[in-house]
Structure 1
Amino acid sequence: MRGLLAGLVLALAADAAAQAQGYARDGRTCDGYPRAPIETMKGMCAGLVLAPPPAGLPPSRRTIHLPRTLLPLAGGDWLVVDLGTWDPGRGSVWRLTPKPSGQPALRRILSKLDLPHTLAVGPDGKIYLSEMSRISRFDADAADPQATLTPVVTGLPDNRLHENRHPLSAFIYDADGALLVNVGAPSDQCPPRPGEARCAEAERHAALWRFAPDGPGKWATEPTVFARGLRNSLALVRTRAGAVLQAENSIDVSDPAWPPEELNVIEAGAHYGWPYCMGAGQPAPAWKARKVSCAPFRRPARLMPAHGAPLDLVEYRGAMFPELTGRLLVSLHGYRPTGSRILAYALDEAGRPTAAAPIDLTPGWRAVKGRRPSGAPVGLSVAADGAIWVADDRNGAILRLARDRK
């Protein structure tokens, strides 16, 4: 593992040199915004809503440091979750007013957050935010939004980076209003200890927790484990047809082609294999000697590119791209060649992935010196006009994928 981490550090260091250049501009626009030099599917272009700092300036000069997720508001403003750094207490939420002709107006409305990630509108129409160990509600339109920040779910694992591996929380709402919350694995493969036949971490962690509804804006204080064997479930969605889908960030190994990431259809009570089995029922290296059977575990609905690092799922229902209607958009954040892109998978009438090949929305988003850095898409959101907004955290950018009207 030490060699793998060293390779990751070197790869990220090499990529950092490309990131410093930012996105080049040539005076062209994409539906009114400065055009980013990203190769997209036919009929689409990428516009810069929030650009990284000019070449030569360090990331510390950014206003928004690590944009992770986006939420549109009525009237055209957006909320942006800024992770800040990977240290607790450095996260923020910003209110962004787009300006196609220049940098957007920004106002920080929440600060001193502990590794914030997901923003969503709840069944009651109010806005909810996940942090490392809690989910809170707040009023973005209040004179002082910080004063309205009220925890509604507490006691999520305090998975601090370097002490544990997956500190971020994500959540969605089930059909009955229950909260389904990601609880990441505290390790990569949970290597077995002498005398242990199973991984104790996998009993409650590496799972989705369910907090039952307990009245408007309220949930049970004690969760149940909804599904197990899910190493890291930051990418979650409940489709219009009612299927709960999860995109799995699989284990870290040096093999560039294995294991594949997974697209799972989540069923209550099912176990999806971590840490014992990966992909299409293949034993994980740390557990191969224990001869654990993969038969009891639920298989993925689709296999996705190895080490792509899927971080968000959105079902597209906008008007701008009819060819994407009903497809599942997946952001691949990974630094390896399989990452730095957005894929669109077909769904069937039940909201489950089909076997059809995905559409690559951004086939040219790897670093090109003098033109662009490697993309690092995280949060995806569909605007009222059908444009697809993307948070590019490593580059401190927000992009808008729109119909190319040139």
Structure 2
Amino acid sequence: MRTGRVFLFAAAALALLSPSAAVSQSGARAYAVSGQCGGFPKADIGMSPGLCMGRVWQRNAGEGPRMPRTLFRLADDDWLVADLGSWDAGRGAIWRMRVGRDGAVAWTRLLTGLSMPHTMARGPDGRLYVAEMSRIFAFDPARPDAHAAVIEGLPDNRLHENRHPLSAFVFDADGALLVNVGAPSDRCLDARGRPNRATNGDCAERAQQAMVRRYAYLGRDAQGRGRWSREWTAYATGLRNSVAMVRHRSGAVYQGENSVDLNTPERPFDEINRLRPGADYGWPFCTDMSTALPGWTTAEARCARRQSPVSLLPPHAAPLDMLYYDGAMFPELRGRMLMSWHGHRRAAGRIVAIETDAEGAPLTDRPARYAIYPRGSMPYPADAPAPRARVLTPGWNAVRGARPQGSPVGMAVASDGAIWVADDRAAAVLRIARE
């Protein structure tokens, strides 16, 4: 059910903001700048050698997104930005961002009244597709009033009873839509903390949610617009939240799993999974490689049958975006899997570039360690695969008066190969470039 109408601005207003303007936010959210990074003010973020982070824009009580989540580059090097707005229905928007040669940013609001818009992608028919909380629609940025829903009836969060309402998606090789339908809770427990069981003893929440659904592609209509089946099948199950998904050119589909929230910073580990049709990835019975969660009497047996992760990630890293780098600016990163780690705990606030094989799978090491803030490292389980990665942002922890802890969400590669990043908590758009 959709919970918020789309209102269109007949005349979109442009707002200009110099990237060097002072940010009148609290010190906890503002990025201090000094010097230049590829034509933009250089943000005070510790970067991997040879890299710098430019502050393209940060909200300063003017126009622009309140919670920028994802970025999409248009052919003219303008950008579309999905603005979550808030975690309430009907407060999201799609903005068009134009960056002038002098670095000034102009915002045009194309759509408003959206409910938690997130993923944006080009479809097999050439149109642009956007996922809201409970639907996926297509639209033309040049004519934003000409929009149409292609998938409806996804779970919503009107009563704040759904912990994972975002409808991320990827297009499969055959045009099918693979859509995240996150788990409505953390661990499938009832109000008393007991397992929420179906009549067959399974988690009651797995029948419709905690999965990636597949909507078959039906080809194009007479006007050349893509069509998808209204019926869905379960493509992959036992997935708590598949906001981060990517399809490699080989056809393999990978997912970044946000694991359950236990009361410790050391457990459980997040995951990278290769999604295979019909596979079960273990939620809410298993974490890490094969650790059974308490409360479910069948958990150990289910863990033995689950599809294992191809790699673990640091605990509470919260991967929210994945893409394969193909730009010109960083030839040493070509083919690597870029991931944003959004979580607020000590391992998160990072962007990493993971080495991959011919099918896009992460190359791994055993044993391995992961970095934590403010300094030091922690071990992965000795027998578990860990990603062979370069951390592009090793110094993105919070420093009073200099920067907040990084909260990267969406990433995109610009025509020159620079990596653009949306930080939703700081309401900022950033750019990784050569030093």
Same fold (TM over 0.5): yes
8 A Cα contact 1:18 1:367, kept in partner: no
Deviation for aligned residue 1:25: 1.8
1:102 offset after TM fit, Å? Answer: 4.1
CA shift, 1:19, in A, is 2.6
1:201 Cα offset (Å): 0.9
Percent identical residues: 51
Between Structure 1 and Structure 2, the one with more helix by share is: 1
Please list the CA deviations of residues 252-280 of structure 1 after superposition, one character each: whole Å capped at 9, or x if unmatched: 11111111000001100000000000111
Q: Distance in 2 between matches of 1:228 and 1:121?
A: 26
Q: Name the residue aligned to 1:259.
A: 268
* Cα distance between partner residues in 2 of 1:209 and 1:51: 36
Instruction: Select which of 308, 313, 323 maps to 2:317.
Output: 308
Q: Which amino acid aligns with 1:390?
A: V
d(CA) in 1 for partners of 2:391 and 2:159? 32
| 8 Å contact from structure 1 (residues 68, 81) kept in 2 | yes
Find the counterpart in structure 1 of residue 253 from structure 2: 244
Q: Does the residue aligned with 1:149 lie in a helix, a strand or coil? A: strand
1:209 maps to 2:218: no
Residue type of the alignment partner of 1:375: G
Matches within 5 A, 1:123-272: 123-142=124-143, 145=144, 147-160=145-158, 162-191=160-189, 192-193=195-196, 197-216=201-220, 217-272=226-281
Q: Does 1:294 align with 2:303?
A: yes
What are the superposed Cα offsets for residues 142-199 of structure 1, whole Å, 9 maximum, x if unpaired? Answer: 2xx1x21210111111234631100111000001000000000011000214776210
Q: Is the 8 A contact 1:161 1:167 kept in 2?
A: no
Aligned to 1:10: none
1:385 and 2:416 aligned: yes
Alpha carbons 2:64, 2:95 under 8 Å: kept: no
1:320 aligned partner: 329
Partner of 1:330: 339
Residue in structure 2 matching 1:37, options 40, 44, 56:
44
Most deviating of 90-99 and 61-70: 61-70
Give the alignment partner of residue 51 of structure 1, picking from 55, 58, 66. 58
SS in 2 for 1:295: helix
Identify the match of residue 278 of structure 1 among 272, 287, 292.
Answer: 287
- Counterparts of 1:300 and 1:62, CA distance in 2: 42
Query: Cα gap change, 1:293/1:222 in structure 2, threshold over 3 Å: closer, same or farther?
Result: closer
Which residue of the other structure, out of 401, 421, 424, is the alignment partner of 1:370?
A: 401
Whether the aligned pair in 2 keeps the contact of 1:366 and 1:375 (CA below 8 Å) is yes
Distance 2:164 2:228 in 1: 24
Would the alpha carbon gap of residues 193 and 46 (structure 1) be closer, same or farther in structure 2, given more than 3 Å must change?
closer
Secondary structure at the counterpart of residue 151 of structure 2: strand
Q: Equivalent residue of 2:305, what SS? A: coil
Measure, in 2, the Cα distance between the counterparts of 1:116 and 1:262: 24
Take 2:412 and 2:54, find their aligned partners in 1: how far apart are those partners?
15
Looking at structure 2, the residues matched to 45 and 286 of structure 1 have their Cα atoms a distance apart, in angstroms, of 47
- Write the distance in 2 (CA, Å) between the matches of 1:103 and 1:284: 51
CA-to-aligned-CA distance 1:101-139 (integer Å, 9 cap, x gap): 444000000110011111111111110000011000011
After superposition, give the CA deviation of every residue in 1:201-257 in whole Å (9 maximum; x if it has no partner): 112310000000011211001111100010000000001222100000000111111
Bigger strand share: 2
What is the total number of aligned residue pairs between the two structures?
A: 378
Contact 1:18–1:368 under 8 Å retained in 2: no
Give, in whole Å, the separation in 2 of the partners of 1:291 and 1:117: 35
Calculate the TM-score normalised by the size of structure 2: 0.84
Displacement of 1:17 after TM fit? 6.2
What is the CA–CA distance in structure 2 between the aligned matches of 1:103 and 1:288, rounded to whole Å?
59
